[in-house]
Amino acid sequence: MSILLNEQSRIVIQGITGSEGSFHAREAVAFGSKVVAGVTPGKGGTDLDGIPIYNRVIDAVEKEGANASGIYVPASFAPDAILEALEAGIKLIVCMTEGIPALEMVKVKKALKGTGSCLIGPNCPGITTPGVGKIGFMPNFIHKKGNVGVISRSGTLTYEVINMLTNLGIGQSTSVGIGGDPIVGSPFVDILELFEADPETRLVAIIGEIGGNAEEEAAEFVKNKMSKPVVGFIAGQTAPPGKRMGHAGAIISGGKGTAAEKMKAWEDAGINVVVNPADIGKKVVSILNK
């Protein structure tokens, strides 16, 4: 088992004819993902390496049985693409797009409520379930099938952690990049909940960063609802206040959202916090060997 992405997932790539979309669709296929369709309005009837392309997401659902979507469209079109997937009944929507205005995401989240569909991202590297497939652009070679769940707000730092685990012989059940924006489809808690319920996952590695309160909410969940061990790291211990550190959501505002506060919340919740990101792998090993 795994979370979100499994053997039943049939993926449609929205924006498949763009340079990002086509490149990552091919990478996903090389990784073994079931990419069953692509969507680009106006390009319906063509194909990418034999993957049929449609004008509308609903066509990909009805004709190819698509139930998961990966979105690679520019920021000004991405909220519409998410809503289209939602309306077509897609249950897992993963949006890689960076730069969507926060207020657009506020509206998208209201639309998602109560639908039973799950949005990952935006501004994220996607999801990978080793042995099954991926949606997004995590590099193919870093993964190994196993029992550690990985959740993170960043991209390359997540690859570092996954790679570190793989090099130590520790595989992953699923790795999820939730995205670096202030409002994301699925904050930490939603994913922790899934890992807690997943029989395959024995431990969760979580990588947070400055800004917002998703880490504090995760702490609350871990403290009250989580039985599995959690190892955590917070990036931005040296970040100055009031400055946006690359990610739209990574900003200390009004003295709130500092790494120190978040690390304290995690420690109080029983999360195994490492101060040095290079120690994440070692910490995971030591807990799994206990």
Closest by CA position to 53, among listed 40, 66, 64: 40
Q: Is the dihedral of CA 46, 49, 51, 55 positive or negative?
A: negative
What's the closest the beta carbon of residue 37 comes to another protein, in angstroms?
23
> Of 24, 247, 262, 283, which is the active-site residue?
247
- Annotated active-site residue 247? The verdict is yes
Query: Could you identify the residue written with the tokens 């996954």?
Result: 162
CA dist 46 → 10, 32, 55, 84 (Å): 19, 22, 10, 20
Report in angstroms how near the CB of residue 43 gets to another protein at its nearest: 23
Instruction: Give the footprint of another protein on this chain (CB under 8 A).
Output: 23, 27, 75-76, 99-103, 106-107, 109-111, 137-139, 141-142, 152-160, 163, 180, 182-183, 187, 189, 207, 209-210, 212-214, 217, 233, 235-240, 242-250, 254-256, 259, 275-279
CA-CA-CA-CA torsion for 48, 156, 263, 221, nearest 10 degrees? 20
Q: Is the Cβ of residue 1 or residue 102 nearer to another protein in the bound state?
A: 102
Min dist. Cβ of residue 197 to another protein (A)? 18
* Contacts for 40 with CB less than 8 Å, ≥ 6 apart: 14, 15, 16, 17, 18, 21, 53, 55
């520019």: which residue's tokens? Answer: 74
Nearer to another protein, 59 or 209 (CB): 209
Closer residue to another protein in complex, CB, 242/270 = 242
Report, in Å, the least distance between residue 54 CB and another protein.
Answer: 26
Instruction: Pick the closest to residue 68 from 158, 146, 142, 2 (CA basis).
Output: 2
Q: Which is nearer to another protein, 54 or 188 (CB)?
A: 188
Which residues does the annotation mark as catalytic? 247
